[in-house]
Amino acid sequence: MSLQPARREGRRFVNPVPTGVGGLSTMWKVLPKFLFGRAARSPKQTPGPFKTDPRIFETRPHSSLRITWIGHSTSLVEIDGIRLLIDPVWDERAAPVSWIGPKRFFPAPLGLEDLPPIDVILISHDHYDHLGGGTVRRLAQMENFRHTRWITTSGVEKKLQAFGVAPSRCTALNWTEKVTVGPVMITALPARHFSGRGLLDRFKTLWASFALTGPQHRVYYGADSGEWYGFRDIGEQFGPFDLTMLEIGASNPLWADIHMGPEGAVRSFRALGGDGLLMPIHWGLFDLALHYWTEPIESIFAARDLKLWSPTPGLPTEVVPGEEIRSNWWRT
């Protein structure tokens, strides 16, 4: 059985299978390509504009499952009567400072002040493109979110508290641990990745994927992960999923162990059972790799025998069984 709690070697968490993360040798291979490569890694013009009408949230989704994709891995998920905000990043850059680093391609379509009441803020790991420090600071101070529960992985709760989140509101999970919010069970599950917000804290906090299991719907949020055989066990134990959210961007053969890419997403989706709809995430907002910025979505759109659910950023969209969505917002 591959679904076990994460273990440590010393102070460092260990992946569920042997995994190469890359070090200085990888950086020296990538740096010249990153600095001098000709691929259009960013759009020539700002996509959009995208704008969410917050009045939509005054009415609960008819299907009991509605997703608003903010961009990259950030989504507002409404499932079986509760609302979760996943990996919130409203920051201008996915970086430790505000003046340099990967800059977002388009503004967030919905202001933090326009968010509806949120039951859970779910954070999969502490990388800058999944945990926006400025975003967390603002959310922690906003009156509208003072009762919101924060659910994350082991060790990340301390970073949330450093950003101003009250300890009493934080729940930290190891793999296979779960909590129930309303009628929905949230289970932290293994992923093949790593953690850290600097060069000296790699692996010291945990990373995870999550199964959201309600009385009517099941959603799998893959967060960041390379391919691994445990996806089959996740699908068998927690599926079938109505919607499976898997990363497709920021991939490269040099770091395939930790980012599956579009081809890996297709294989992983099928390993998870291939049920329901596949939602591509982790693309289209930040320049985090060497590929052309639309290459991930072009590749997955070309895959055969695949039901995709890829909405326009900021558009609250209900998930209907078997009903594909293939927005072409990135073509314009």
Q: How confident is the model at residue 2 (pLDDT cuts 50, 70, 90)?
A: confident
Q: Using one digit for the tens of pLDDT, what is the confidence trace for 152-182? A: 999 999 999 999 999 999 999 999 999 999 9
User: What rounded mean pLDDT belongs to the chain?
Assistant: 95
Q: What pLDDT shows up at residue 23?
A: 66
Domains of the chain with bracketed CATH: 37-331 (3.60.15.10)
Q: Using one digit for the tens of pLDDT, what is the confidence trace for 80-109? A: 999 999 999 999 999 999 899 999 999 999
Q: State the helix-helix crossing angle for 230-238 and 261-271, rounded to 10 degrees.
A: 50
Contact 307, 65 (CB under 8 A): no
Contact 65, 218 (CB under 8 A): no
Tell me which residue has tokens 């992985």: 153
Q: Rounded CA gap, 2 and 256, in Å? A: 20
Q: Using one digit for the tens of pLDDT, what is the confidence trace for 14-32? A: 999 999 987 666 666 666 6
Q: What pLDDT shows up at residue 22?
A: 72
Q: Rounded CA gap, 157 and 186, in Å? A: 16
Beta bridge partners of 186: 179, 212
Q: Using one digit for the tens of pLDDT, what is the confidence trace for 116-128? A: 999 999 999 999 9
Q: What pLDDT shows up at residue 239?
A: 97
Share of the chain above pLDDT 70, in %: 95
Q: Which of 60, 188, 59, 50 is nearest to 123 (CA)?
A: 188
Contact 216, 205 (CB under 8 A): no
Q: Using one digit for the tens of pLDDT, what is the confidence trace for 291-321? A: 999 999 999 999 999 999 999 999 999 999 9
3-state secondary structure of 301: helix
pLDDT at 261 over 90: yes
Q: What pLDDT shows up at residue 332?
A: 73
Q: Specify the long-range contacts of residues 143-148, CB closer than 8 Å, at least 24 apart.
A: 144/113, 144/115, 144/117, 145/118, 145/121, 148/117, 148/118, 148/119, 148/120, 148/121
Give the CA distances from residue 319 to residues 62, 79, 205, 227, 328, in Å, rounded to whole numbers and listed in that order: 10, 10, 33, 26, 18
